[in-house]
Amino acid sequence: MAEGAGEEKKKFSIWDLPDVPMGQLLPHLELQRSRVSCNKDAPIHTESIQYSGAYASMGINNSSRLDRFSNNFRVEVVRLNEDDMEFDMIGIDAAIANSFRRILIAELPTMAIEKVFIANNTSIIQDEVLAHRLGLVPIHVDPRLFYYLSENDQPNEKNTIVFKLHVQCKRGSPRITVKSDALKWLPNGSELVKETRNAASDSSSKPETYTYFSCSQETIPEFVKNLIIPKYPDIIIAKLGPGREIELEAHAVKGIGKTHAKWSPVATAWYRMLPEVVLLEDIEDDLAEELKSKCPVNVFDIEDLGKGTFPNEEFGCQARRRRATVARPRACTLCRECIKGDDWEKRVALHRVKDHFIFTIESTGALPPEVLFTEAMKILEDECERVITELS
């Protein structure tokens, strides 16, 4: 009988396992909690772990706490110009980021053309199509200076902006293009006279128009130097052939994108989670060149390590060593080309940081993007206070 054959096998006990570290997550759990892992077939760990007792066995409180949020949350502006803005929102949940995006698109007010009174339109564009095109022309004016126009209100200098458009292509002249710069602001209100059925009305009285301005909008201090005009003067409204004419009056009022997209202050507002590209091992020489060529947005770069002594078909045993580095991880679009192929998933890992969002705001021109950001924050704060009030 072989030596030791009669000995009993050592029994395994769960008590022999090492203790779970208290107060900190294991590396793989921390990765699942804070990152979205992007494999070559599909992303995993996309959900947010909201349950406060998810890691209670490790002595970790996963609940949402105000002090923790205040310490971790920050905003970093990356790019800012006249019409667009890119910034990072760090330390928030995806639900808050999406709420901010929806407010930017649907709940920030602007001024847009709502009513169009057409006196004459002999162009090939139908009246309703022409009115729709006019409604989509961005107007460069601060909507905070105006009130909403309700059904019971009269159009006045505090809630209505009036534009006039009168363009004619004379017979024998070449075809002309009507652009948004043809819209002329009428600071004194409407000039179109209402049709009255009472023919015996007093001819000496002032004719009734479609607005009731008590004063000129030019007397308002904010409009003395900043005239109300379309943001972009070269938007094509219509094209007129010889003998054609358009004469109309357009009234702009205050509204929000939830009612109609013409009132949305942004051309687009979107976010993405911060990409994270990790090299799991040193990728050198020919593999480094291959990895760099795989990426269509040039995330990787090649670092020169100096001369080394390793076989090389072109230079013999003396060649300069090269190593791949992650130079521009923010540019990564997660196309996953770099992890396609044999064994590349063992060399490169792609992640998304769950609480780090890259926001982009493109303004239509009514308000600058930094003002849109602050106004959206105010609306989000007001909505949170309203919810707290209703629950209390």
Per residue in 60-115, pLDDT tens? 888 878 888 888 899 999 999 999 999 999 999 899 999 999 999 999 999 999 99
pLDDT given for residue 319 in this prediction: 61
Q: How far apart are CA 207 and CA 191, in angstroms?
A: 9
- What average pLDDT is seen over the chain? 88
pLDDT: which is higher, 207 or 104: 104
Q: Which of helix, strand or coil describes residue 375?
A: helix
Residue 1 confidence class, pLDDT cut points 50, 70, 90: very low
For the chain, the straight-line distance linking the first and the last C-alpha, in angstroms and rounded, comes to 80
Burial class (CB in 10 A: 0-12, 13-18, 19+), 58: middle
| Vertex 56 angle, CA 53 and 59, to 5° | 140
* Position 234 pLDDT exceeds 50: yes
Residue 336 confidence class, pLDDT cut points 50, 70, 90: very high
Q: Which of helix, strand or coil describes residue 119?
A: strand
pLDDT given for residue 113 in this prediction: 97
Per residue in 136-169, pLDDT tens? 999 999 999 999 999 889 999 999 999 999 999 9
Listing DSSP states for 346-369 in one string gives GTEEEEEEEEEEEEEEEE-SSS-H
> Encoding tokens for residue 157?
């200098």
Q: How far apart are CA 130 and CA 203, in angstroms?
A: 34
Assess contact for 342 and 290: CB atoms under 8 A.
no
Phi, psi of 78 (to 5 degrees): -100, -45
- Average pLDDT for residues 115-144, to the nearest whole number? 95
Looking up tokens 């943001």 gives 231
Q: Is the dihedral of CA 282, 286, 288, 290 positive or negative?
A: negative
pLDDT given for residue 14 in this prediction: 65
> Encoding tokens for residue 182?
């043809």
**Which domains does the chain show, CATH number per domain?**
31-50+64-108+264-309+318-391 (3.30.1360.10), 110-195+208-262 (2.170.120.12)
pTM of the model: 0.82
